[in-house]
Chain A
Amino acid sequence: MKKILFTLTSLLLQLAAFAQNRFPKPDFESGYQYPDIQYAVPNESLWLVVDILLLVALMSFVSWAVIRKQTRKPIIWVSVISVAYFGFFRSGCVCSIGSIQNVALSLADSSYILPISVLLFFILPIAFAFLFGRVFCAGVCPFGALQELVNIKNYKLSKSLTSALSVIPWIYLIFAVLYAVTRSTFIICRFDPFIGIFRQGGDFGLIVFGVLLLITSIFTGRPFCRFLCPYGALLSLFSRVSIWKVKITKKQCINCELCHNACPVDAIKPPHENKVKENRLLGVKRLINYAVVLPVLVITGALLMRYASNDLSRAHKDVRLHDMVMLQEAAPQNSLSLELEAFYGQGRTVAELTEKVEKIQADYRLYSTIAGGFIGLVIGITLIGLSTKRTRKEYEIEHADCVACGKCFGYCPQNKLEIKTGTLTL
């Protein structure tokens, strides 16, 4: 009952705030006509169609170039087009990377409206990754393309550093989803380092970060893709098991190592012979070890994140407002912050806000626990990956990491000596 009364009064208050006819409508005698106001309509929908068509066209083109033709030249053109169109012209919004958050939110909360273009931006590159590998990353993603275009040298980072840093995209992905499903904020959009460059404006700190990343990518391939991009992490799952796969050469590898040095993302793994042959017993022992370590990590992660969930929930605006209101109620201050002014001005009550915040915090407890479990899982799998080595006879592409840029094709001598092999052997 109290609640109903309260909603009624707040409704009345709102109505009163809306229709303040302090002064009557004038009776014009001179035949004055109200001016016609034209509101500019967005022509967005048209551009959205162009976006999607271009996305599919460019990805198909790249697929054809890397899978069928094994050539890199078209990819450079695709990169230029992508940076110009998706980057500078369309100001990089909404991009596939950010779309993760919209999709996660709409999966968690069916009342959230997911625009169809956002769904397509999310699912199409994944579908292509499933078919042909990460052809989206090759040059269609404006962020990847930008880094690729400025890349000149390719200094390799140490293996341990690379594997430690490559956990970050997964953690970033997990937190992005956590903050999205709790309707707190879209951190991928908020901390996007390149959008400021494309828009030539925006948060100064982020632009500096973006420029630093670009300078880094002059010397080593795609730092953002390898150590930050959450969408890249997602794509790597599908690229790992894709139906058609990028091959360095269609002929026999001669183990010359040239391609190894060319790969900007260090995806080409050298041949490796497992010295100690593992017998059955050892193998079983190893499996048991994993079976113990993984759950322990998952549970630890889940518990830690659950413990931190109340602090994490401060990312939500209403939780912060609630903190402010509590402070104010405990020790009333005369000069109110803008938030408090709006809160009291709109006639909202503390009880209503508390109820809302409790719901948010309950959400946080659930989702943080799940997120913590995933963080444990990611760390566990990375550790396992470090401790096992596969036997390889020749240079092979690790398809999870390969961004289908095609740089290795040109370095492989087997791709060049197509003709006259017969005469040469003579």
Chain B
Amino acid sequence: MNGKNNPKKSPIERRKFLQMLGTAAAGGSILLVAGGLASRINRAEAGLYWQIDPAKCTQCGRCETHCVLNVSAVKCIHANRVCGYCDLCGGYYRSNVKELNTAAENLLCPTGAIQRKFVEDPYFEYTIDESLCNGCAKCVKGCTSFGNGSLYLQIKRDLCLDCNECKIALVCPADAISRVPLDVAYKLKDE
């Protein structure tokens, strides 16, 4: 079985030997990587979810346009417990509004997604119709600048596709979007 005595066989034998070496190396590396990573994983979650940090968001408007979905997975959320229930709502009316009526030219929301209901003098309740909201952040900007900041944007988990890399996070100027584990849940304002 010596290579010198049997020159015809030697390349085959050598190849077999190299194959075996390769197999061993491959198997070893799989075990190594899997083992190394598995030791890190126990604290990690089954999934991670993209969420906006409302404290960082500057309401730039890119959330509306950069989501991979045709209608963005980002929606406006209203934290009622933070809201002042104002009549002159900074998120509902445009800043230059002359008369407080619901004519479209007075309203901020381009899709009419904000509904207003009279509660008692002088309070009004505002609700977002999520099916209409496109996440453009106009109302959020108004509310953050002139009101209590109770309107804010958030990525809705039931709509979001959980892209491995969120296309909005790539362009968010405020670095407000990051992936959070399940137990952090929604980054909400009213809790």
Contacts and interface: CB of A to CB of B under 8 A. Distances in A.
Interface of A: 14, 17-26, 28-30, 32, 34-35, 37, 39-42, 44-45, 48, 91, 93-94, 98-99, 101-103, 106-107, 110, 113-117, 119, 123, 126-127, 130, 185-186, 189-190, 199, 201-203, 237-238, 240-243, 317, 337-339, 341-343, 345-346, 391
B104 interface: no
Nearest to A201: B70
Given A29-B120, A338-B62, A42 B44 contact: no
A41 B164 contact: no
A44 B55 contact: no
Contacts of A317: 170, 175
A206 B22 CA distance: 38
Interface string B19-63: 100110111001001101110110111111100001110101010
12 contacts: A32-B120, A34-B80, A35-B80, A39-B188, A44-B49, A93-B163, A115-B45, A116-B46, A185-B170, A202-B68, A338-B58, A346-B56
Contacts of B60: 338, 341-342
A237 B165 contact: no
B84 A241 contact: no
Contacts of B27: 130
B149 A346 contact: no
Residue among A94, A113, A186 having the largest count of chain B Cβ atoms under 10 Å = A113
A347 to B, nearest CB: 12
B69 interface: yes
B147 interface: yes
Contact of B119 (A28, A102, A107, A116): A28
A400 to B, nearest CB: 11
B47 A117 contact: yes
Residue among A102, A103, A243, A339 having the largest count of chain B Cβ atoms under 10 Å = A339
Contact of B44 (A113, A130, A338): A113
Interface residues on B, range: 35 or more
Contacts of B26: 130, 237-238, 241
Contact of B158 (A14, A17, A40, A342): A40
Residue among B43, B54, B82 having the largest count of chain A Cβ atoms under 10 Å = B82
B113 interface: no
A389 to B, nearest CB: 12
A114 B44 contact: yes
A199 B37 contact: no
Contact of A189 (B80, B146, B164, B173): B164
B106 interface: no
Nearest to B161: A91
A342 B62 CA distance: 13
Contacts of A339: 173
A23 B186 contact: no
A39 B147 CA distance: 24
A186 B165 contact: yes
Given A41-B157, A241-B19, A48 B47 contact: yes
A338 B57 CA distance: 11
Contact of A23 (B54, B86, B162): B86
A22 B148 contact: yes
A379 to B, nearest CB: 21
A114 B41 contact: yes
Given A23-B86, A26-B85, A339-B173, A241 B38 contact: no
A386 to B, nearest CB: 19
Contacts of B182: 45
Contacts of A343: 173
B149 to A, nearest CB: 5
B46 A346 contact: no
B110 interface: no
A156 to B, nearest CB: 26
A34 B181 CA distance: 28
Interface string B84-105: 1110000000000000000000
The 6 closest A-B pairs by CB, nearest first: A23-B84, A40-B158, A241-B22, A186-B165, A342-B173, A342-B174
Contact of B45 (A102, A113, A130): A113
Nearest to A199: B68
Contacts of A103: 33, 37
A341 B58 CA distance: 9
Contacts of A28: 119-120, 123
